[in-house]
């Protein structure tokens, strides 16, 4: 047989063999990937249940669009020219007047009463000139702010409508890690978006988002525009108000935070009924119990909350609470961290009698205390000051914030979180700056910051030492 014919025969045989193998492998693969009817049934029912849940909650979620006017300082390039400054100096006449710019932002909200009360985040509607609310049926309304609480980042707005779909409030205290939750909102302006995940953690604090923190952490996708939207459980109940994401890119990275519904309900009811949030007050300065402190105070383990100071004539002093006491229970509930006690006290109506269990000199004692009302001067925020730092909001420089902003451990101060448009500090400071000193006086926390700033006169210039992007700089802020 000629060689060419032998080669052709071998090639044909090889091709036929490969085809046969492919057919056998395909059959085996099809056999291995077959899905049982039971599995299909379970998945189908799960999908139908989630679809019903989403369909039930979406009508109560609204799109919130706000417009606000901002002052933008115009930069004159000659002001940084040494030759120009040599002849004309730092003359205000050569500074261009700030321009006004209208900005638009998007967020979400949750309808919680059929007559138009909507819960959202404070940062969604803060400083808004106009609030537009779009319902799921495309109807549009103008929203009015009923009250805001920056300390929890919550606001209540009202629209003139009746017969609206609502969400039922769930009990966020019953949430367990691992539970399935849905996040519903308007990320990037995309209306009625639903994402699914689980409860990743509860009781998250020291995040640096608000003053009172007890966040639910979830991996349900939350993105810009979701703020103020709903976190719901499998019963379709509201268990959280989506507030923020942890991200290095500005987008979803699997960590989102929601304000628990129980905290949100207390704030909402108080804003609607009284126009402000009434918080309980104990009158103590507290700190965490470290292993070193536990040893010094003869504790078996580092738990509870250490009383560092007691305010004169406060409910705590009247009840006999003393510096050095370690509070381990508040009305029968364990207290393991300062933020837990702070939130418990704040949520307790003034005039309520509660029992504290404390460790004093190694012995357990029980004290009865009548909770007071948090004084208004303690509740004030830096934005209330009438000097060059008015409109500047700051937060404690927590370990979490240091890690996120890549700030060295040795840095002590307060971090700038927001600066209102038109504030004298607007062109000098920026969010993320750490204020280390004010008028040559070092500060290490918000209390010291407020104590110094409150004594600065309206027309007094302020000298700041600021840590910014790896270096420290002096900044002067002139009064208006």
Rounded distance between C-alpha atoms, residue 201 and residue 265, angstroms = 20
**In DSSP terms, which residues pair with 147 in a beta bridge?**
156
Rounded distance between C-alpha atoms, residue 62 and residue 111, angstroms = 7
**In DSSP terms, which residues pair with 67 in a beta bridge?**
104, 130
Rounded distance between C-alpha atoms, residue 193 and residue 463, angstroms = 47
Going across the sheet that includes 144-149, the strands are: 140-142, 130-134, 61-72, 99-111, 117-121, 154-158, 144-149
Rg for the chain (alpha carbons), in Å? 29
Rounded distance between C-alpha atoms, residue 308 and residue 293, angstroms = 12
Alpha helix (H) ranges present in 187-310?
261-274, 291-296
Q: Which residue of the set 148, 172, 227, 423 is catalytic?
A: 227
Q: Which residue of the set 65, 108, 123, 261 is catalytic?
A: 123
Q: Which residue of the set 153, 219, 325, 433 is catalytic?
A: 153
* 20 is known as an active-site residue: no
* 214 is known as an active-site residue: no
Helix, strand or coil, per DSSP, at residue 442: strand
Q: Is 351 left (phi over 0), alpha (psi -120 to 50) or beta?
A: left
* 269 is known as an active-site residue: no
Sequence-ordered list of residues with C-beta below 8 angstroms from that of 470, at least 6 positions apart, any chain: none
The count of other CB atoms within 10 Å of the CB of residue 291 is 10
Catalytic residue annotation? 123, 153, 227
């Amino acid at each position: 047989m000629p060689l060419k014919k032998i080669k052709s025969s071998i090639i044909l045989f090889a091709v036929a063999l490969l085809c046969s193998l492919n057919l056998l492998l395909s059959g085996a693969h099809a056999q291995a990937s077959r899905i049982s009817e039971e599995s299909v049934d379970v998945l189908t029912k799960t999908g139908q249940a989630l679809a019903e849940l989403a369909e039930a909650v979406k009508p109560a979620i609204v799109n919130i669009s706000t417009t606000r006017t901002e002052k933008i300082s115009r930069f004159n390039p000659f002001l940084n020219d040494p030759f120009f400054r040599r002849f004309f100096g730092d003359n205000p006449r050569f500074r261009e007047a700030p321009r006004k710019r209208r900005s638009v932002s998007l967020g979400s909200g949750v309808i919680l009463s059929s007559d138009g009360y909507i819960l959202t985040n404070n940062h969604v509607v803060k400083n808004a000139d106009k609030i537009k609310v779009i319902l799921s049926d495309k109807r549009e309304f103008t929203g009015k702010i009923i009250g805001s609480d920056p300390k929890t980042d919550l606001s209540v707005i009202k629209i003139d409508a009746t017969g609206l779909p609502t969400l039922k409030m769930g009990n966020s205290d019953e949430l367990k890690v691992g539970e399935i939750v849905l996040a519903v909102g308007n990320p990037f302006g995309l209306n009625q978006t639903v994402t699914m995940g689980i409860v990743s953690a509860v009781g998250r604090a020291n995040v640096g988002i608000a003053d009172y923190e007890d966040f639910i952490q979830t991996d349900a996708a939350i993105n810009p525009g979701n703020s103020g939207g709903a976190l719901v459980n499998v019963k379709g109940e509201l268990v959280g108000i989506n507030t923020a994401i942890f991200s290095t890119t500005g987008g979803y990275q699997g960590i989102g935070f929601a304000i628990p519904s129980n905290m949100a309900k207390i704030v909402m009811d108080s804003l609607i009924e009284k126009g402000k949030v009434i918080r309980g007050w104990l009158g103590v300065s507290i700190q965490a119990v470290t292993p070193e402190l536990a040893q010094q105070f003869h504790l078996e383990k580092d738990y509870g909350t250490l009383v560092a100071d007691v305010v004169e004539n406060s409910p705590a002093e009247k009840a006999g609470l003393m510096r050095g006491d370690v509070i381990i229970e508040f009305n029968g509930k364990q207290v393991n961290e300062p933020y837990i006690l702070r939130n418990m006290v704040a949520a307790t109506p003034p005039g309520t009698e509660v029992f504290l269990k404390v460790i004093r000199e190694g012995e357990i004692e029980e004290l009865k205390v009548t909770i007071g009302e948090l004084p208004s001067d303690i509740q004030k925020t830096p934005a209330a000051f009438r000097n060059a730092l008015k409109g500047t909001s700051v937060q404690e420089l927590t370990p979490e914030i240091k890690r996120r902003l890549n700030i060295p451990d040795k840095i002590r101060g307060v971090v700038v979180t927001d600066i209102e448009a038109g504030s004298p500090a607007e062109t000098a400071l920026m969010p993320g700056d750490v204020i280390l000193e004010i008028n040559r006086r070092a500060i290490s926390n918000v209390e010291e910051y407020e104590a110094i700033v409150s004594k600065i006169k309206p027309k007094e210039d302020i000298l700041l030492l600021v840590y910014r992007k790896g270096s420290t700089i002096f900044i002067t802020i002139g009064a208006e």
